[in-house]
A and B are shown apart, each in its own frame.
Chain A
Amino acid sequence: MAKRIGVYVCHCGGNISDTVDVEKVVEAIKNYPGVVVAKHFMFMCADAGQKMIEEDIKKYNLDGVVVASCSPKLHEMTFRNCVARAGLNPYLFYHVNIREDVSWAHSDNPEEATKKAIRHVKAGIEYVRHAKPLEKIKVKTIPSVLIIGGGIAGIRAALDLSRMGVNVFLVEKSPFLGGRTAQIWKVFPTGETGKEIVRRLIEELKKRDNIAVYTNAEIESFSGFLGNFTVKIKVYPRYIVKKHPRITEAIKKCPIEVPNEFDYGLTKRKAIYIPYEGAYPDLPVIDMKHCNKCGECVKILGDAVDFNQQPQTITLNVGAVIVATGFDAYEPKEGEFGYKKFQNVITLPQFERILDISNNEEKIMFNGKEVKSIAFIYCVGSRQIPTGPEKVNEYCSRYCCSVTTHLNAELFKKFKDLTIYNIYRDIRTYGKYETYYEEAGRKGAVFIRYDPNDPPQVCAEGDKLLVTVRDLLTNREEIEIPVDLVVLVTGMVARENKKLEDILKLPIGRDGFYQEIHPKLRPVETNIAGILIAGTCQGPRNIQETLASASAAAAKAASIVLRETIELEPLVAFVDPSKCNLSKLCMKECPVNAIQEKEYEGLGVKAWVNEALCIGCGACVAVCPTEAIQLKTLSTDQIRAMIKAMAEEI
């Protein structure tokens, strides 16, 4: 039983102390039984905070430590390790959450929040008073990683892991790898096409023999723990089972035409298709939603077509998972800046497709007419201002200013006699991308700044468009700009992926993107141990940032699976044979048959827990008539002591 307890209350730089009176908390518990030292500090997780705890453990010969700070999901391990460094058993420690559970949840009531913090800290002291030293349990890990999403982030992570000797399963929902990057005309800073970036990654991918690629596949179920997950995937049929030299001819023959999603509906594709030359895998797919099985392609391809192909379910065992499911482009509402009302109002991703498709032309052609003047309207679908209860995208999409100013420069480079208007709110070409903004201006692009509360209006004038805008740079003078094409610079939005989110229980942040455990300290980890996130599924970012996060996630995944064993918390049950009356109720309740009978010297036959099998749920604890069976990390005595402490009036 701990009799010399140290209590440390964190300000979290104001996150806690702006609401909770931390001095009052320390004052309230410093004379609490067993407490020999109680302190508050600006950042307990900082070096200085941890040092202070370590020194106190030695100085006061502490046998128990309580830290009251953020969520234990963030820093429980930090402080456990800190305590261990000072030579104290790391389980003689309790992490009290007074940030998420107190200061943030009750910022509306500082006085009562302080009382709640005191209650929680007292309970933490009681936990430690009844805590016993414990050792970690070692389990084997599976040296494979599942990557969900075959865009550039997923491929990058797959390559990195593959090189480290980790087996990779790369699962992509659509029939082809490459994601959205392949749709981009020219990427900054190199001016390469998006397809070229994808091609180079795929070339590397083809050389690796420890990456298994599943396209047209989805996650069906997910279970297990860090280091040892079981995932079922469903691979949908392609209906084309092998390569054939006359593929192009067969595609031409297909009578079905549907809007091509790869070109955002600007072009048509067939029911049997490859989205672009060089797409991977190098095998077309038949879109069964639209195919009428007329048999035209079978006449050419013969047994390369198999209409009877069935979906396949495959079970994968992996040690970690990387989610890299990407983003969706913001789809403007009908009539938003004339979108869908006027044909020549298009989005930035559509414009990229037009430029890519007509890469060999000397003019920009749209609907059979040459485009000589373009107006880009910025911040469409980003930084939206809430006007009612409806949720809007309040965030900045981050990539669009750099992309569009870079595009200005590329357009001037390629096309002569072009007039470009940039109708913007603020230009955010951060870091080195500032040069694109300068270059665009230098080459003659016009910049007009609009007020988001008085946005530009787009209307038709003959076969041209007329953009009316009040320019903030010239004292709100109303300017009318006739242009051939209006391009809406649309942002990124979180992708619709409910099924996957439900299966993996992915944490979702305020903007709908997947949420990391800590934006700075643990930027690619989620609160589900062993599930990592990479790329734009986490929030808007450019290609460079996407690939950097993919490599980070790969390194994190490798750090899990490349250890032969990982240490798990000693979250198991044990039996006090002197209390056991062998009711056997625990054995009936145990879901994994981890409890057996065993002869104890001098005590006779009693229940015994096989730690290797025990999963630590505690179901047995609830049914024992004599409280003989307990969880090592949380006994009923501890719970009772915590309840009693929390119930006391303050």
Chain B
Amino acid sequence: MPEEFKPKILIFSTNFISDLAIDLTGLLHRHYPVTTSIIRIPCSSMIRPDIILYAFQCGFDGVFVAADGTDCPFLKDCSDRTAKRIAEAMELLKKHGIEPERLKMSAICSVCVEPFLKHIHDLYEKVKKLGPIKRKPE
């Protein structure tokens, strides 16, 4: 029997907002898929679409952007800006034959433990259904 597919998910968290929620999730000993990796960034608006593509090219099966949302300490319109970057990234993924559903962005406030758990589980299940990315041999 082939080994069960366990998607590798890259999470971008933000130093002042969403990373606090992810910290709190751990503090409360709440579990989520262990095949996740987390990179902290100052603000979700800084994510370059090509970086997201790069993550998939490196071997990640899904990317979750835990955005600042309306709590962003930097930008009032952080959600709009980040959403724009994500939309661009989705176009880029399509061009490279990667399903855009593998990328998810959602605002996670600093105490949003439940929303974080829900989103990460949902994305994990969705990517699991999609299966591994059909990568062309280089």
The residues of A with any CB-CB pair to B shorter than 8 Å are: 71-73, 97, 99-109, 112-113, 115-116, 119-120, 123, 225, 505-508, 510, 527-528, 571, 589, 591, 615-619, 621-622, 631, 633-634, 636, 639-640, 642-644, 646-649
Contact = CB atoms under 8 A, between A and B. Distances in A.
B55 A647 contact: yes
A619 B46 contact: yes
A103 B38 CA distance: 14
B10 A643 contact: yes
B73 interface: yes
A622 B85 contact: yes
Contacts of B27: 100, 104
B34 A618 contact: no
B47 A622 contact: yes
Given A108-B31, A618-B46, A647-B59, 13 more contacts: A99-B26, A102-B26, A104-B29, A105-B31, A105-B32, A507-B20, A622-B85, A631-B46, A643-B51, A643-B54, A646-B10, A646-B60, A647-B10
B45 A107 contact: no
Contacts of A505: 71, 109-111
A100 B41 contact: no
Contact of A101 (B26, B45, B71, B73): B26
B98 to A, nearest CB: 14
A621 B40 CA distance: 15
A616 B74 contact: yes
B117 to A, nearest CB: 10
A622 B49 CA distance: 8
Nearest to A529: B16
Nearest to A119: B37
Given A571-B42, A619-B46, A621-B46, A640 B54 contact: yes
Given A633-B42, A646-B37, A646-B39, A622 B58 contact: no
Interface of B: 8, 10, 20, 22-32, 34-43, 45-49, 51, 54-55, 58-60, 71-78, 81, 85, 109-111
Contacts of A591: 74-77
A634 B36 contact: no
A615 B73 CA distance: 9
A527 B51 CA distance: 29
A71 B23 contact: yes
Nearest to A74: B23
A116 B31 contact: no
A108 B34 CA distance: 9
B110 A507 contact: yes
Contacts of B75: 591, 617, 619
A618 B104 CA distance: 20
A105 B35 contact: no
Contact of A527 (B22, B25, B110): B110
A115 B20 CA distance: 23
A112 B34 contact: yes
Contacts of A631: 42, 46
A105 B25 contact: yes
Nearest to B55: A643
Nearest to A639: B51
Contacts of B32: 105
Contacts of B29: 104-105, 107
Give the one of B48, B60, B78 with max A CB within 10 A: B48
28 contacts: A71-B23, A72-B40, A97-B23, A97-B38, A100-B27, A103-B26, A105-B26, A105-B34, A106-B31, A115-B34, A225-B73, A505-B111, A506-B111, A507-B20, A508-B111, A527-B20, A591-B74, A616-B43, A617-B43, A617-B45, A617-B74, A619-B75, A621-B48, A634-B41, A636-B51, A639-B39, A642-B39, A647-B10
B37 to A, nearest CB: 4
Contacts of A642: 39
A188 B32 CA distance: 47
A589 B20 CA distance: 26
A618 B26 contact: no
B34 A113 contact: yes
A640 B51 contact: yes
B31 A618 contact: no
Contacts of B72: 617
B111 A507 contact: yes
A123 B41 CA distance: 13
Contact of A507 (B24, B47, B78): B24
A527 B45 CA distance: 22
B26 A116 contact: no
A99 B54 CA distance: 27
